[in-house]
Amino acid sequence: MNTSEKIQTSLSVLLTTLAFPIMFLNLAGGIISGIWLIIIGKLSLVIFSLLLTFIATKVLGLILAPTLLLMHPVAKALENKKYTKVYILSALANFWDYLVMTVWCVGSFIYIVNYTNSGSIWPYLLLGYCVATVPWTYIASHEDSNEVNASTIGTFFVCLGTIAMMMIAIFSKTPNLGSMLIVFIIAMLVAWIMQVILLISNIKSTEVRNDNNIEESEGAPEDSYSLFSDN
């Protein structure tokens, strides 16, 4: 098993281990918060959140589209073995993705939570969590789920970052935009660094594999000649 495969395996184990409570929150959070808010007379907020989430699943994909413009330069640089350029362009593309994630998640979460006036904050937290994360889980579900990629890592840390914002709202006496933004940015930075490390390991692994294939192909005629000469 090469370095890239080891990193992929380690990340898969980590994400799988931590994914179960997040999956439960993703599945149950929207249902619980929706029923709770309807009972206390917030049907309009639930409907608005559903429409906002639906629109976001379409619009956010378009906002991320400019990163596709970097695919050709990255492929060209990779073909010419200009790996430093590949790292820089790929890191910039991922940075844009995580910037959009940060703006959407922090903004939508705080917007929903600000509807809290009296009573429990929990239904608003759960609804805010769903509005912030569902668009990204939807986008990730349409990509290859058999391997750890940028979408998988980004979506996982979007959920972790939003959970961190929920904890601040619960335990802080004066939760504010600044503190929530900081914890979410930290989550996105970790995701970004992990994605860059994964990219570097994949490229190095591919380079080593190509070099081995070249050596084998160059050695094949000589081996074949030796075989016939022995006979």
Mean pLDDT value across residues 57-68: 90
Give 180's Cβ-side CA count (13 Å radius): 29
Q: Which has more pLDDT, 216 or 132?
A: 132
CA distance readout (Å), 147 to 8, 99, 191: 8, 23, 16
220 occurs within a structural domain: no
* Residue 199, phi then psi, degrees to nearest 5: -60, -50
pTM beyond 0.75: yes
Over 50: is that where the pLDDT of 110 sits?
yes
Planar angle of CA 161, 164, 170, nearest 5 degrees: 150
Number of structural domains (the chain) is 1
230 occurs within a structural domain: no
Only one residue has tokens 């619980």, namely 32
Q: Which has more pLDDT, 132 or 222?
A: 132
> What's residue 187's pLDDT?
95
* Enclosing domain of residue 49: 3-207
Q: What share of the chain is helix, strand, coil (3-state, %, to 5)?
A: 85, 0, 15
Over 80: is that where the pLDDT of 57 sits?
yes
Whole-number Å distance between alpha carbons of 63 and 221 = 52
Amino acid type, 49: S
150 occurs within a structural domain: yes
Which pLDDT tens digit goes with each residue over 13-51?
666 666 677 878 888 899 999 999 999 999 999 999 999
Whole-number Å distance between alpha carbons of 112 and 101 = 16
